[in-house]
Structure 1
Amino acid sequence: MSALLIIEQVLNGLQFGVMLFLMAAGLTLIFGVMGLINLAHGSLYMIGAFAAAAVAGATGSFILALGAALAAAAIAGALIEITVIRRLYGKAHLDQVLATFALILIFSEGTRWVFGSFPLFLDIPDYLSGPVTLPGGIQYPFYRLTLIAAGLLVGLGLWFLIERTRVGIQIRAGENDREMIAALGIDITRLYTLVFAIGAALAGLAGALVGAIQSVQVGMGEPVLILAFVVIVIGGIGSIKGAFIGALLVGLTDTLGGIFLPELFKLFMEPGAATQTGSALASMAIYILMSLVLIWRPTGLFGARA
């Protein structure tokens, strides 16, 4: 196995990880502040992807497509929070799961009704297409490098919002003691809507960015949602830093496991059986990682200890 292949797969893992971070950051923000289990978060990812594909097809502008993804997901998130989610605060988690699962069905069938059952395709713009030569002569797609950079910039902006702004102070205070900040005159209802819209916008942006390297189709958000839950369990519920570290660990584990594990088993088994066994174990690697983290630290890497 060549060093070039390893470096390329590490970059692929980083790209996958930062996209998972955009998804998981909004999810952990919503759960940390509101205590809400939102299974419909994957539908917001799908809405962002479809909005981007539709606007790009109509205008030919990738920038407008990203703006449409952010706006559509944020508006959808705000409407969900106002009409449905607001009635679930303080309810049992089972009620939240059932209500948000119903939203998945509604959004899936609504998207199929508007766009049809066939997948859409979002083309990579010319100025982001093609390979770029990295040190060592490595050829790597420029768009995937752009995804890594975009994810890191969004993560930095989210950190600045949470840690260095007045809104961020309110969000962190709402996470720790929502009754107290309501008593201090903060409009907790507006704050919850804002947090939900921010989380939805991050999911929509991730869907739009990933939509350019895979087809945009109904139900595309649910597999990513499962991985996002794994990320926040590993990183710690309510921790943006935990979501970032957890997303990178999941991205690298999933990508590198699919390469190294089959090669490792070839040392002990026949090539065909080694490939089958290694691939099966690679598909379980992130869940094994999650189990090991929870055995060591049940609240996640950066979750608050009881």
Structure 2
Amino acid sequence: MKNDFDWKPLALVPALAILVFPFINSGSTWLTLTVAGLAMGMIIFIIASGLTLVFGLMDVLNFGHGVFIALGAFVATSVLGAMGDWTGSDQLWRNMLAVLPAMFVAMLVAGAVGLAFERFIVRPVYGQHLKQILITMGGMIIGEEMIKVIWGPAQIPLPLPTAMRGSILIGEAAIEKYRVIAVVVGLLVFGLLAWTLGRTKIGLLIRAGVQDREMVESLGYRIRRLFVGVFVAGSALAGLGGVMWGLFQQNVIPQMGAQVNVLIFIVIIIGGLGSTGGALIGALLVGLMANYTGFLAPKAALFSNIALMVAILLWRPSGVDPVTSR
């Protein structure tokens, strides 16, 4: 098993950006769309990274992953709503002292709900893919209804803190501040995951379990306990991604998790099931494609990502960075 991330497929990201450039008449517009796509991609990666590890480690199709996205976003509305003096400040450090606790609480709540979700919904259907699809989708529906009971069915605004609003001018291109923050947070999460998976004992066990679960169990390690930890961590990351996505959209609805789920599964299929590096590449490609086509041909935005997935699978049926290739 190779410890280093294979950087070669990452060349697809700048290749896509360069390929689209001639179709956009303005360089400043291209730069704005590119940064927006990278920001969107990084947020999607945060959400997808846990799900791809869950599938790779335990072969579980968790279609209920979206409920943790929505839960994290709604928890953030409550926390940030209670810290209006901090979010209303024009000082970035005061804004961060509001956003960081909101992220932490969202991850804590999503992780705790993920623990219960694994115990009562996922665990009884290990190894039964059809039942997994049905029961996890049912779990997501129940989760959405519980969110409606607590926060109501209506859309709730989640405005950006004052200092995170506005844009930075690079030449004639206006780059929104929050999109830059989203890219930085995504890179930090990827760096932390890469270090954990590549440089720590538990990370090596997770990587080994993704490739050969029976071998890890034969060495005396309890793969079930390891999976529970990964499932909880994946749920917490989805909660963090939900906060980021809610701030990206500046509003939240109970169904937001189900809407994002489509993009998440496209990402992990493009990247290769079980591959966090592949999830990063897939998420960046999906984010860029969504923004470029949203500008050039708005009606084709969702179809374009499906077409991208089909093209990638025709080229590499196991995804751009499959675990089996490392």
Under a length normalisation based on structure 1, what TM-score does the superposition of the two structures give? 0.89
Is 2:279 the counterpart of 1:227? no
* Equivalent of 1:88 in 125, 131, 134: 125
Letter of the aligned partner of 1:77 in structure 2?
G
Shift of 1:48: 0.5
Residue of structure 2 equivalent to 1:268: none
Verify: 1:190 aligned to 2:225, yes or no.
Answer: yes
Q: Return closer, same or farther for 1:48/1:180 CA change in 2, 3 Å cut-off.
A: same
Answer whether contact 2:121 2:139 (CA < 8 A) is retained.
no
Aligned counterparts, 1:58-69, within 5 A: 58-60=82-84, 61-69=98-106
Structure 1 runs (4+) deviating above 4 angstroms are none
How many Å separate the matches in 1 of 2:265 and 2:46? Answer: 12
* Partner residue, 1:212: 247
Partner of 1:255: 291
Corresponding residue for residue 302 of structure 1: 321
- Do the aligned residues in 1 keep the contact of 2:115 with 2:231 (CA within 8 Å)? yes
Deviations 1:186-227 (A, max 9, x none): 232221111001111111111101212321111101121111
Quick one: which amino acid aligns to residue 106 of structure 1?
Answer: I
1:147 maps to a residue whose letter is A
Contact 1:250–1:286 (CA<8 Å) still a contact in 2?
Answer: yes
Secondary structure, in 3 states, of the residue corresponding to 1:79?
helix
After superposition, where does 1:48-197 map in structure 2 within 5 Å? 48-60=72-84, 61-90=98-127, 92-134=128-170, 136-197=171-232
- In 2, Cα distance between equivalents of 1:97 and 1:216: 25
Give the alignment's TM-score, normalised by structure 2. 0.84
Report the RMSD for the aligned CA atoms in angstroms: 1.6
Question: Any idea what SS the aligned residue of 1:132 has?
Answer: strand
Rounded to whole Å, the distance in 1 between the matches of 2:282 and 2:230 is 21
**Change over 3 Å in CA distance of 1:304–1:150 after alignment to 2:** closer
The 3-state SS of whatever aligns with 2:175 is: strand
The match for 1:271 is none
Does the 8 A contact of 2:57 with 2:210 survive in 1? yes
Equivalent residue pairs, number: 287
Contact 2:211 2:324 in 1 (8 A): no
| Cα shift at 1:305 | 5.5
Q: 1:255 to 1:173 in 2, by over 3 A?
A: same
Relative to structure 1, the CA distance from residue 184 to residue 77 in structure 2 (aligned partners, 3 Å threshold; closer, same or farther) is same
Instruction: Name the SS for the 1:84 alignment partner.
Output: helix
**Same amino acid, percent of matched pairs:** 38
Structure 1: gaps of 5 or more residues? 261-277
Q: 1:290 aligns with which of 300, 303, 309?
A: 309
* Corresponding residue of 2:17: none
Give CA-to-partner distance per residue, 1:135-185, whole Å, 9 cap, x none: x25332211110111111111111111111111011112212223322323
Q: Which residue, out of 48, 71, 85, partners 1:24?
A: 48
Could you tell me which runs of 5 or more consecutive residues in structure 2 were left unpaired when the two chains were aligned.
1-24, 85-97
Residues of 2 paired with 1:63 and 1:290: CA distance? 34
Change (3 A) 1:197 1:251: same
- Cα gap change, 1:191 to 1:304, in 2 (>3 Å): closer
Tell me, what secondary structure is at the counterpart of 2:160? Answer: coil
2-structure distance, mates of 1:139, 1:292? 32
SS for the counterpart of 2:136 is: helix
